Copies of this chain bind each other. A is one copy, B any other.
Amino acid sequence: MGSAASQHRPDTAAAVVAMVGAGQLAQMTQQAAIALGVQLRVLAQLPDEPAVLAGADHRLGSPDDLQALLALADGADVVTFDHEQIDPGLLVELERAGVNLQPAPAAKLLAQDKLHARRELERMGFPVPPFTHAHSVEQVQAFAQQHGWPLVAKTPRGGYDGRGVFELADPEQAAAELATHPDGLLLEPLLEIRRELAAMVARSTTGEQVAYPVVESVQRDAMCREILAPAPIDAELAQQAAQMALQIAQRAGITGVVALELFDTPAGLLVNELALRPHNSGHYTIEGCVTSQFEQHLRGVLGWPLGATELTAPAVVMVNVVGAADGSDPLRRIPQALAVAGAHVHLYAKTARPGRKLGHVTVCGADLQGARATALRAARELGSEP
């Protein structure tokens, strides 16, 4: 039977990478770690999380528990993250304790606190949507007078996949929401968005940087549902987005991969937010680029040379497999999906729940239209919510 001791190889030269979190990002990082001879150790809250089921070494504990974080870090070459849900103060304490955190707490905060990110990016001169931090109905009304109702409100911390983002239709709704958000709300106008883009770059602790192709992120219900690579936009706009991501990574001292989410608006590109970890917009890189974002993140945080980022095909499309309303498990439908020629199926070993990301499908092809049709067909076969 498996035992924890069996996964330790103190006598070898294997690098040990500790990751806070054990979800699908850590699961796919485990696949990359196997090939590189890297020992991945994850911090899981429960023993049935995806990366644990995938066989990563693990510690059980909460990311809110300093002792659990220290136990995770013990003997590891570096500590990194598969999510943002960790108290920034704890990260500073870990850093003080001598733990090698990549990215460093100050950089990570850009992904943890949307308000901080907006202010920092604006200060650095990058284009961001108009925003304010409102604590009172009067402040909301003043912002609405300038930009019109409805407004978009975001909780500065803790949101993801559309959670923590909602519209405010009028002052009454603003009052109700402010009552439940004592730390205030980040407000922005309801922007006219042509499309959402994601620009992923990687930076090694050595300072080396590489950029992936800029992709389009197709959203439904504020959740990324499809990625089109390369984004069907003109080369100049793509170049602009990639340059922005490279500059932010360099100036903020980011390490590992970073996904910059951008709005393509009539007023030009605006930076929405960023993730300092492998990201849904980069899942397509497993088959679609020479080096996957998961391998790239490991290289970056370990200070190893970065890998080539070119597409492996003219067009690559990823479609998320989202839990259907009937709660059916895509695991039971996998043979039907595998019958779709060219579909790369990835399941996350998560309990099926409506609206939950349970897996994804990637298709490499000659053009976006064909690849997208194939990927959508396979996702449907898996019972994905359309």
Residues on A close to B: CB < 8 A? 1-7, 9, 12-14, 27-28, 30-31, 34-37, 39, 47-48, 52-60, 290, 299, 303-305, 307-308, 312-313, 329-332, 334-335, 338-339, 341-342, 344-347, 349, 359, 364
Contact = CB atoms under 8 A, between A and B. Distances in A.
A335 B3 contact: no
Contacts of A304: 334-335, 338
Count chain B CB atoms within 10 A of each CB in A3, A34, A54 and give the residue with the most. A34
Contacts of A55: 7, 30, 34, 54-57
Nearest to A27: B34
Interface of A is mostly: mixed
B338 A47 contact: no
A48 B334 contact: no
Contacts of A9: 48, 53, 349
A39 B56 CA distance: 14
B308 A341 contact: yes
The 4 closest A-B pairs by CB, nearest first: A55-B55, A6-B47, A1-B4, A37-B347
B35 A347 contact: yes
A1 B35 CA distance: 22
A341 B210 CA distance: 12
23 contacts: A1-B4, A1-B58, A2-B7, A2-B52, A2-B58, A6-B52, A6-B53, A6-B58, A9-B48, A13-B329, A30-B34, A31-B34, A35-B347, A36-B334, A37-B349, A55-B55, A290-B364, A304-B335, A304-B338, A305-B338, A307-B338, A307-B341, A312-B364
Given A2-B58, A312-B313, A332-B13, A339 B7 contact: no
Contacts of A14: 331, 349
